[in-house]
Amino acid sequence: MSPTRNIQANNRLAFASMAGERQTPLGLIGSVLLHAGIIGATLFTFAHKLDIAQESAPVVPVELVTIANKTNLIATVKAPPKAEPTDEEPTPPQVQKLDTPPQSEPKPEKLDVAPETKPEPPPPEVAPEPSPKQPPPLPKVKPAPASEAKADAPKKEEFDINKITALLDKRDAVQASSPKGKVADKAVKGFGPQTAMTMDLQDSLRSQIQQCWNPPVGAPHPEELVVEFELFLKPDGSVAQPPQLSGESESDASHDSFTRAAAEAARRAIYTCAPYKLPRDRYGQWQDITLTFDPRQMVGQ
């Protein structure tokens, strides 16, 4: 388990494999040892990961921090008394509050969306980001400017200064309202965008898409018609490229007419409700979205 033992195992493995070149039985042993070595290597990797986690904070607290941030953002008034990792349960009510505003304007901008569906260079007037970057990198640049990673991540600063400053502003606001949400949070930085406060984004997006989703309730087995889409958005909230089915839905849709219909209904919902109203300064958190459309709760209505 320990690193040293693993190294020993690897050495043994090397010898075994050399022996294996001479004799087949030894080759077999070598193979077995190789496998053992690989497993050992896995453990090693894992242990290493955990070590890192221990240095800063356990994994779970990270998420709690997430929620705390979100809470502060919305319900500024409540915040003061709470400590850093505040595990606030008032999450649901916030959800609802968030829901309302975005609902208001799904449609007017459809016209704009339309042209953008095709891969074209001249997209958003929005940010000073270099336009060429946007279409291709969106999918891949997931290690994007995570909001919490503000301090380090120098590349990203160059990437988009506005974003960072916006984030800084937000932080200040948060801190002002709840003076205790401080340093401990920062220790979490290495973890990536999804560890940040995303529940409000999820709720916002969900409430926007629900307006446009016509679920397949009349189909014979609606419970089997759960479809999953991978969606990339542009900073202005419009659809960056045609959403793709992911997971099992992809193969299901190819040979089942009901799944295909369900998938198409979901895709129509994605397009119809675009552009999505999401906080631009947190684009890194919502540029890449996995959407699951699950009609089960709608059955029987």
Partner 1 sequence: MRRFGFLGAAVFTLLAAIAWPAWAALHVDVTQGNIQPMPIAIPDFIGGAQGAQIAGVVRADLDRSGLFRTLDQKSFVEQIRDINTPPQFNNWRVINAQALVTGQAVAQPDGRLRADFRLWDVYGEQQMLGLSFATTPENWRRIAHMIADKIYERVTGEKGYFDTRIVFIAESGPAMKRVKRLAVMDEDGANPIFLTNGSYLVLTPRFNPTAQMIAYMSYAGGRPRVYLFDLESGRQEMLGNFPNMTFSPRFSPDGNKVVMTLESRGNSDIYAMDLRTRAVNRLTSDPAIDTGASYSPDGTQIAFESDRGGSQQVYAMNADGSNVHRISFGGGKNGTPVWSPRGDMIAFTKQANGAFRIGVMRTDGSGERIITHGWEDEGPTWAPNGRVLMFTRTERGGRGSSIWSVDVTGRNERRVPSPGSGSDPAWSPLIQ
Of 45, 100, 244, 251, the residue at the interface with partner 1 (CB under 8 A) is: 45
Distant-in-sequence, close-in-space partners of 99: CB < 8 Å, separation ≥ 6: 203, 204, 207
Are the C-beta atoms of 270 and 290 separated by less than 8 Å? no
Q: Which among 6-14, 66-74, 127-135, 174-182 is the span making contact with partner 1, rule CB under 8 A?
A: 6-14
Distance in angstroms (rounded) separating the CA atoms of residues 176 and 179 = 6
Residue 261 touching partner 1 (CB under 8 A): yes
Binding mask 11-40 toward partner 1 (x if CB under 8 A, else -) reads --xx--x----------------x--xx--
- Kindly report each contact of residues 267-271 with a partner whose C-beta sits within 8 Å and lies 24 or more positions away, as own/partner: 267/229, 267/243, 268/212, 268/214, 269/209, 269/212, 269/213, 269/214, 269/293, 270/209, 270/212, 270/229, 270/231, 270/239, 270/243, 271/113, 271/117, 271/239
Name the maximum alpha-carbon separation found in the chain.
Answer: 75
DSSP, res 233:
B
Minimal distance in Å, beta carbon 113 to partner 1?
8
Q: Which among 126-134, 147-155, 168-176, 255-263 is the span making contact with partner 1, rule CB under 8 A?
A: 255-263
Distant-in-sequence, close-in-space partners of 29: CB < 8 Å, separation ≥ 6: 16, 19, 20
* Comparison of 162 and 290: residue with beta carbon closer to partner 1: 290
- Binding to partner 1 (CB under 8 A) within 101-130 occurs at 107, 110-111, 113-115, 117
Are the C-beta atoms of 229 and 267 separated by less than 8 Å? yes
Are the C-beta atoms of 144 and 45 separated by less than 8 Å? no
Q: Which among 85-93, 126-134, 165-173, 256-264 is the span making contact with partner 1, rule CB under 8 A?
A: 256-264
Minimal distance in Å, beta carbon 261 to partner 1?
3
Residue 153 touching partner 1 (CB under 8 A): no
- Binding to partner 1 (CB under 8 A) within 165-224 occurs at 191-195, 198, 201-202, 205-206, 209-220
Are the C-beta atoms of 238 and 113 separated by less than 8 Å? yes
Minimal distance in Å, beta carbon 142 to partner 1?
4
Minimal distance in Å, beta carbon 298 to partner 1?
6
* Comparison of 156 and 267: residue with beta carbon closer to partner 1: 267
Minimal distance in Å, beta carbon 86 to partner 1?
22
* Comparison of 28 and 83: residue with beta carbon closer to partner 1: 28
* Comparison of 123 and 215: residue with beta carbon closer to partner 1: 215
Distance in angstroms (rounded) separating the CA atoms of residues 231 and 240 = 8
Distance in angstroms (rounded) separating the CA atoms of residues 131 and 128 = 8
CA 245 distance to own-chain centroid: 17
Q: Which among 69-77, 166-174, 176-184, 265-273 is the span making contact with partner 1, rule CB under 8 A?
A: 265-273
* Comparison of 121 and 301: residue with beta carbon closer to partner 1: 301
Of 64, 178, 269, 281, the residue at the interface with partner 1 (CB under 8 A) is: 269
Residue 2 touching partner 1 (CB under 8 A): no
* Comparison of 157 and 256: residue with beta carbon closer to partner 1: 256
Distance in angstroms (rounded) separating the CA atoms of residues 127 and 134 = 11
